[in-house]
Amino acid sequence: MSFTGTHHRADGRKIGKRRIVLVDIENVVGGLSAVRDYVSWAKVVVAECVPAQPGDQVVIGVGPTGLLDLALTWQSVRYVMRPGQNGADLALLEVLGENIADRFTEVVLVSGDGIFTHAIAALASRGVKTTVVAHAGGLSRRLGLAAAEVRLLPEQPSPRSVPAASNMDVA
C-alpha cells in the first residue's frame, strides 16, 4: 500500500480505497435475545462510531432467530447467518476468508470477540488497515493489540422501564 491510499491486487492492478464493515450484532447488543430490543440503538451507535463512506460494504452477522428483527430495521446491508453458540462470529469469519485483502484497503470489525484475532492480524500483515470497534468491557486484549486502531462503543442502555401510572388514576 502506498502513502496515497492506493492498494494493489495480487496481480499488480491498482484498486481505490474500499472499506468493509463487519458487525457482530449480538456482540453489540449483548446477546441474541437482545437483538429485538436493541437493534435500532445498535444501528445508531455503529453509525456514530463508523461514519458511512461511499462504497462501504456492510456485513452483519446474526443468529437465525434475530434475522427478521435485524432485517426490518437495518436494510441495504449483507446479512450472514449461522446457528449455534458462536453462529454470528463463525459466519463473519467466513466473510473474512473471502479474499478481503485483495478487495479492500480497510476492514472495520464491530466486535470485541477474541475469535477474530487471527483474521484481523493476518489482514493487518497484508497491509489492510484494521479497526476494531467494541465495548470497553467486552474487548479481547489480543484483538485490541492485533488491530491498528480501536474505537469504543457506548455501553448499552438499561432495559426499558415501565411507564409510570398516569395522573388519570388519581380520584
Tens digit of each residue's pLDDT (9 = 90 or more) over 105-145: 999 999 999 999 999 999 999 999 999 999 999 999 999 99
Q: Which residues contact 48 (CB under 8 A, 6 or more apart)?
A: none
C-alpha cell at 137: 468491557
C-alpha cell at 163: 411507564
Mean pLDDT to the nearest integer, 50-67? 95
| Total-model pTM | 0.83
- Rounded mean pLDDT of the chain? 86
Three-class secondary structure of residue 29 per DSSP = helix
| Count of Cβ atoms closer than 10 Å to residue 147 Cβ | 24
| Residue scoring higher pLDDT (77 or 2) | 77
Cβ–Cβ < 8 Å for 141, 163: no
How sure is the predictor about 70, in pLDDT bands with cuts at 50, 70 and 90?
very high
DSSP 13: -
Q: Where do the domains of the chain lie, and which CATH numbers do they carry?
A: 24-152 (3.40.50.1010)
Q: Which of 14-28, 29-43, 88-102 has the highest mean pLDDT?
A: 88-102
Residue 160 pLDDT > 70, yes or no?
Answer: no
**61-73 residues labelled b (16+ CB within 10 A) or e (exposed):** bbbeebbebbeeb
